[in-house]
Amino acid sequence: MYKYDDLLNSIHEHILNTLIALREWLHTWSILDALGVLFLTVLGLCIYLEARNPVLTRQARVLMKSYPLNLSTFFFNDLTASLLSLSSVYYLADAVNGHGLLVGMENGPLKYILCFILLDFTMYAWHYLMHHCDVLWVLHRVHHSDPNLNVTTGLRFHFGELLLEVMVRTGFILAMGITVEFLLVTQAVMSLFILFHHTNTRLPGERYLALIFIVPRLHRAHHSTLRSEHDSNYGAVFSVWDRLFHTLREVEPEQIGIEGWDEPGFLGMVKSCILADFGWTHKMKTLPVPIRKSRE
């Protein structure tokens, strides 16, 4: 009997110590750490959805080339940004920040929601400029050149574009009068939506979600080879901006990518992320992408 009680006490003490250690470990986490784990979780979930129910049907060997290329480009950009300490620009803006539209507004849910909406509109306007200014399009076409649209396409960008986006967000900090921490959290949440709408899948009730959000079926049109189709659906989170400014298109594209350009390897992609010239040597050829018809 005593041995049984001792065993129960030992188990109870072990569980209690484990919970205490877990609580202390969680206290060392910042909200950005939690969002990092959430980012990886959402990325894994989107890859799972693509494998289960793809809309654009590609051979596995083609996707196995796309995933590593896009992910390696993402890590290259992330490492370069870290070496250049780009995030320090945010903190510099935060240090001199004392004005802005939202400075006098009390911190709370209303301010955070309003700021998130305004940032989404800012990114909509920036995305529109990327398509309609030739100099910016040279950078942005690296993202559009992926002929295998999938969740990792949402991580594939020219480093010059990312650098300019830092400047845009820095201006947002100064214009709104918000803290850099809040901007980083807001941008992290927005990144989850970007992964979502690049996912090569079809979701039940997607047409209803599209009334409010940018969903995969809307963003596929944005990656069409036809300019009349890819110059549309610029929203990152909400589709309301596209509806309001008449840039919404609800079509299924026949081809994805940039017509007449070949997909480069990693070194070619790194070169494109360092150099931006109108005669980019790696032409990206786009082949027709079979699309699974909707059952709706």
The pTM (predicted TM-score) of the whole model is 0.79
Per-residue pLDDT tens digits of the chain, which is 296 residues long: 545 455 555 655 656 666 566 555 545 556 667 777 888 899 999 989 988 888 877 655 566 678 888 888 888 888 887 777 667 777 766 676 667 788 778 878 888 899 899 999 999 999 999 999 988 998 898 899 888 899 999 999 988 899 899 899 888 888 888 877 788 888 888 999 999 999 999 888 888 999 999 999 999 999 999 988 999 999 999 999 999 999 999 999 988 888 776 666 666 665 655 555 544 433 333 333 444 344 33
Is 168 contained in some domain? yes
Give the range of the structural domain holding residue 110, as residue numbers without chain letter.
31-274
Is 6 contained in some domain? no
C-alpha to C-alpha distance for 187 and 182, rounded to whole angstroms:
8
Is 212 contained in some domain? yes
Number of domains present in the structure of the chain: 1
Is 281 contained in some domain? no
Is 10 contained in some domain? no
Is 279 contained in some domain? no
277 DSSP assignment: -
CA quadruple 65, 72, 74, 193: dihedral sign? positive
Write the CB contacts of 230 (distance below 8 Å, at least 6 apart in sequence). Answer: 131, 144, 221, 222, 223, 224
